[in-house]
Amino acid sequence: MKCRCPAVSNDVFDPIRLTRALLVWYRANRREMPWRGHPDPYAVWVSEIMLQQTQVDTVRPFFARFMARFPTIASLAAAPDDALLKPWEGLGYYTRARNLRKAAQVLLDRHAGKLPPTLAELTALPGIGPYTAAAISSICFGVCEPVVDGNVARVFSRFWLLADDFRKPGPRAALADRLRPAITGCGDPGDFNQAIMELGALLCSPRSPACEACPLRPACAAAETGRQCDFPVRPAAAAIPERHAVGFIFRDARNRVLLVRRDSAGLLGGLWELPGGEIPKTHTPAAAARLVREQTGLAPAVLRPAGAISHTFSHFRLRLSLYTATVASGRIAPSLRDRVRWSPLPSDLPLTTAARHALADAGDGRNGVKGSSKSRSAR
Give the active site residues.
48
Give the span between the Cα atoms of 165 and 161, in whole angstroms.
Answer: 12
Q: Are strands 317-330 and 242-250 parallel, antiparallel or unpaired?
A: parallel
β-sheet bridge partners, residue 258: 342
Question: Quick check: 350 and 82 in contact, CB under 8 A?
Answer: yes
**Phi/psi of residue 132, nearest 5 degrees:** -65, -40
Q: What would the DSSP string read from start to end of 294-334?
A: HHHSEEEEEEEEEEEEEEE-SS-EEEEEEEEEEEEEE---G
- C-alpha of 261 from chain center: 21
Give the span between the Cα atoms of 213 and 207, in whole angstroms.
Answer: 15
User: For residue 265, which amino acid is it?
Assistant: A
Exposure pattern of 140-167 as b/e (b: 16+ CB <10 Å)?
A: bbebbbbbbbbbbbbbbbbbbbbebebe
Angle between helices 150-160 and 189-202 in degrees, nearest 10: 80
Query: Is the peptide bond prior to 346 cis by the omega test (within 30 degrees of 0)?
Result: yes
Give the span between the Cα atoms of 177 and 180, in whole angstroms.
Answer: 5
Give the span between the Cα atoms of 227 and 202, in whole angstroms.
Answer: 19
> Within 13 Å and on the Cβ side, how many CA atoms surround 46?
31
- Among 328, 322, 329, 333, smallest CA distance to 362 is for 322
Number of H helices and E strands in the chain, helices first, is 14, 8
